[in-house]
Structure 1
Amino acid sequence: MSRAHTVLVAEDKALTRDWMVRALKAAGYDVVAVSNVPEGAVAIETHMIDVAFLDLGLADGDGRDLLDRLHAVAPEVPVVIATANDTATSAVELLRRGAYDYVVKPIGPNQLLRLVERGIELCAARRALSVLRDARDRDRRGWDVGETSRMRTIESLVNRFAPTEAGILIQGESGTGKEVVARALHERSDRAEGPFVAINCAAIPSNLLESELFGHEKGAFTGAMSMRRGLLELAHRGTLFLDEVTSMPMEMQAKLLRALQEFRFRRVGGQNEISVDVRVLAASNQSVVQAIEEGSFRMDLFYRLCVLTIELPPLRERGVDIPCFIERFIGDYREKTGTSVTGVTEAALWALCRYRWPGNIRELRNTVERALIFATGEDRIDLAHLPDVVRAAALPGDAPPGDAPPDDAPPGPPGDAMGAPTLPRPQGPLPAEGVDLKAMIARWEQDMVGKALERTAGNQTQAARLLGLTRDELRYRVEKYAIAVEA
């Protein structure tokens, strides 16, 4: 069972402190409440704090003292300073001192919970960077796909599967790191000293794929001016990686199956059989089982290639890995170019962590490298250096960036509980008396959460996936709106 997030509240006014504690506990947080600096110092030493909410004007001291103490022992913890004085000078000074945010009293429960929720995500991102730094000291040759517990499980599978000679199918969306996993399997196997040869079956025209895999003899076809070894032959005593294997034509699948049954084949136009000692790994961004059912992939080839399976999750399900990848990509770019950029601002990190990354790790790398070019001469990547679609992820609201339909998109089908993923477009002019926008959004959000839970028969994990939320984010909204969930 995962640990509840802990919020430190330092407030000397009992009434204010009490309602903050009640609101936070109702949202599922553990709360450590103190009224003065000495109590705060003890709390910092004895609790693992995830977010701190500090009153600047404590009766016996200054919230700055606790800010300094907390950052001395846990610099990754975001600190929100609350004050009754709305001065730009104070705000700038506190932010420079390391505060995550600065708010002017009075504040309400909704603002408190928003600040804490964002702080929790930022804390997780900062801690992920520490995990990456520790990981650099470990010998994990060839491993470059992430630090989450889910990826550690996959690393365990890689370590277990690598020494075997079994065929392995790696499945995952485009850009999730399938070739990286294949290389790790090769480099941790007894074939590590041999070649690793990769081919993208989707990138080779079908009329050339046979020649690429098996090679050809001189004169085998027009343009074959000399003998050429194929990739299967070049992978002798090593590993052949067939990426996007479901794109291979059926005729070619039959020829590959014959070659893999005895590891003997003929070059195109050749008469002599060639024997090879090779391990074959395969990958696909589509369901191979579905391809078999549709008749586009051979079942016998599937059983030859797929003794074991590794499933890679998309990057949107591994948010804590994003800061790790960002730091790695910046480091790689600095080594190549000597750029002055050393990191990202918190605003940029927030947007990068909130974006959905349909192109996964590959898209993230391209985005970071693009931002590094625009940030030339500066020390950090900022929001202005990111593409519009990524910057939009930092805007208020919970809708997954890039998922909303264009303005002229038709509405969802009538009667479909999830058929309208965006708020309805306003009709006519704004009423003279105005509208309660927050209440409208809250009602819409409550309705969508209820419909998602209804569609999934109360399964919160599936409902969260439908809404583009984490399970904790969904649970917070269920409690916030007191939504009944089926047992």
Structure 2
Amino acid sequence: MAEILIVDDDVQLRQSFARLLGEEGYDVRMASSGEAGIQAVEDHLPDLVVMDVRMPGIDGIETLQRIQAIDAKLPVVIMTAFGTTETAIEATKQGAFDYVLKPFDVGDMLKIIEQAVSAGRMMHQQVQMGAGPETGGADAIIGQSPSMQKVYKAIGRVAPTDATVLIRGESGTGKELVARAIYQHSQRAGKPFLVINCVAIPETLLESELFGYERGAFTGAASRRVGKFEQAHGGTVFLDEIGDMPMSIQAKILRLLQERSVERLGGQRPIDVDVRIIAATNRDLERALEDERFREDLYYRLKVVTIKMPPLKERKEDIPLLIDYFLSRFSREMQINNPGISDEARQGVEQHFWPGNVRELGNTIKKALIFSRGYPIQAGNIYQAIAGESRDDNDGGGTDLETAGRNWIRAMLASEENPDMFNFLMDQFGRMVVGEALNLTGGNRSRAARLLGMSRPTLQARIEKYNLSLETSVKSS
């Protein structure tokens, strides 16, 4: 559970804010002044500080500076009245994670808090490389195969430099962990590390999210807004799924790489920005170049150094290590004794194709631990975890769920020719999954996001994409 420190001299705001965050599952502490906030950070380091600018005694800017002296990686979100927006922007340039105008929109504030907590965790929690099953922490790159040794060497060589890095590989291979390892071993390790998922943010919002905007730039732009690249000044930005980035924004990324500057929407002048770019994609960029869906000049700017993450099918010798790692890790997280795994179950894991790579393998071991109820994991638990339903070990057929799904897919494929059929089917499944999560949680988006294993902004993007609401999800269930 993330711990948030609220620093504000307004008693009513502190208490109402604490109730709101408590309902969202956060552990909240409060301080009434900058001095008290600094003391609270010294006594026990929180995961995030949310702080007002104008307070009696030392103001929010000086408090921010003194908090940074305690821990430069501790994210701080500044709250400010409309009239002190420029002060808040200055605070952002000095290292604040973000700023929010009072009175703030609750949904927007919760999104920023979730992003800040996630960023703080990624900056603080070290990624271990080549760790053993028993010593690997929650964030570890596991593998001793020759292909993984190449990855470790590449990280070691590129991390101390300022070179742009392109990480390529299938979904679930661990590209974000590699990006974080590069950041943590770089000279920018004490500065911000921000992750931007180019797919999770709707195209209409992505440009303003990355580059910010000036007041009046578009309808609803009531004040100036600093973009993610400015927020990360001096640090590192990880652009995940860059192969899906719209062409219009690709041109602005190219300018950033070439000129080290950005221009806010509605802005009249470039703003110097010092950030290192690490990008990742599971797309065939060469094919995208041929189809004119990706800029050739940006392609060559990004691949100054390329790190290729091998799929699990190409490093099967690492699967035994991964099994033991996930058993040890998830047993610790569930606070149970490691029950072990039978030889038959281990063999089943090693022989499976694992199209979802390490992520799918980890999720399967976690579910199998739950199904085994504290006893050694058996082959049936693995089959159940993979299929999603119980299955007889001797039954060569699929589950009822599998059969129903396959029949529906066949019917759709046979019904008509659709050039975008694959994405259509994926969207149909996605709509059902997200709708059921909303239905199960009574519309609580934070809880639904946790159930689905995604961030709240990602869930919000899916809800908007599928045009979902609690009412529509209930009707579809």
Q: Provide TM-score, normalisation by structure 1.
A: 0.50
CA distance in 2, matches of 1:232, 1:198: 11
CA distance in 1, matches of 2:230, 2:394: 53
Q: Deviations over 1:337-384 (max 9, x none)?
A: 2123432221111111111110111111211111122122x2422222
Please, which runs of 5 or more residues in structure 1 have no aligned partner? Answer: 1-130, 410-487
Q: Which amino acid aligns with 2:382?
A: L
User: Comparing 225-234 with 286-295, which one deviates more in the overlay?
Assistant: 225-234
CA distance in 1, matches of 2:231, 2:250: 19
Q: Deviations over 1:208-257 (max 9, x none)?
A: 11011112334433344544332212222111111111111111111221
Show the counterpart of 1:292: 289
**Residue 324 of structure 2 aligns to a residue in which SS?**
helix
Q: Which of 334, 344, 358 is equivalent to 2:331?
A: 334
CA distance in 2, matches of 1:190, 1:395: 56
Q: Which amino acid aligns with 2:233?
A: H
Alpha carbons of 1:142 and 1:333: their partners in 2 closer, same or farther (altered >3 Å)?
closer
**Residue 380 of structure 1 aligns to a residue in which SS?**
coil
Q: Which amino acid aligns with 1:310?
A: I
Aligned: 1:311 with 2:343: no
Aligned residues: 271
Alpha carbons of 1:173 and 1:379: their partners in 2 closer, same or farther (altered >3 Å)?
same
Q: Bigger radius of gyration, 1 or 2?
A: 1
**Residue 201 of structure 2 aligns to a residue in which SS?**
coil
Show the counterpart of 2:195: 198
- Contact 1:354–1:394 at 8 Å: present in 2 too? no
- Contact 1:374–1:385 at 8 Å: present in 2 too? yes
Please, which runs of 5 or more residues in structure 2 have no aligned partner? Answer: 1-129, 397-401, 411-477
- Contact 1:341–1:375 at 8 Å: present in 2 too? no
Q: Provide TM-score, normalisation by structure 2.
A: 0.51
Alpha carbons of 1:370 and 1:264: their partners in 2 closer, same or farther (altered >3 Å)?
same
The structure with the largest helix share of the pair is 2
Q: Which amino acid aligns with 1:277?
A: D
User: Comparing 366-375 with 291-300, which one deviates more in the overlay?
Assistant: 366-375
Show the counterpart of 1:106: none
Alpha carbons of 1:173 and 1:335: their partners in 2 closer, same or farther (altered >3 Å)?
same
Show the counterpart of 2:219: 222
Q: Which amino acid aligns with 1:253?
A: Q
Q: Deviations over 1:70-97 (max 9, x none)?
A: xxxxxxxxxxxxxxxxxxxxxxxxxxxx
Same amino acid, percent of matched pairs: 45
- Contact 1:236–1:278 at 8 Å: present in 2 too? yes
- Contact 1:239–1:278 at 8 Å: present in 2 too? yes
Aligned: 1:240 with 2:253: no
Q: Which amino acid aligns with 1:324?
A: L
CA distance in 1, matches of 2:394, 2:186: 46
Alpha carbons of 1:277 and 1:271: their partners in 2 closer, same or farther (altered >3 Å)?
same
Show the counterpart of 1:382: 378
CA distance in 1, matches of 2:167, 2:384: 33
Q: Deviations over 1:283-316 (max 9, x none)?
A: 1101212211111100111121111111111111
Q: Deviations over 1:17-41 (max 9, x none)?
A: xxxxxxxxxxxxxxxxxxxxxxxxx
Alpha carbons of 1:145 and 1:292: their partners in 2 closer, same or farther (altered >3 Å)?
farther
**Residue 331 of structure 2 aligns to a residue in which SS?**
helix
CA distance in 2, matches of 1:394, 1:157: 43
**Residue 381 of structure 1 aligns to a residue in which SS?**
coil
Q: Deviations over 1:159-200 (max 9, x none)?
A: 111112111111111111111111111111111122221111
- Contact 1:375–1:381 at 8 Å: present in 2 too? yes
Q: Which amino acid aligns with 2:297?
A: D
Alpha carbons of 1:256 and 1:227: their partners in 2 closer, same or farther (altered >3 Å)?
same
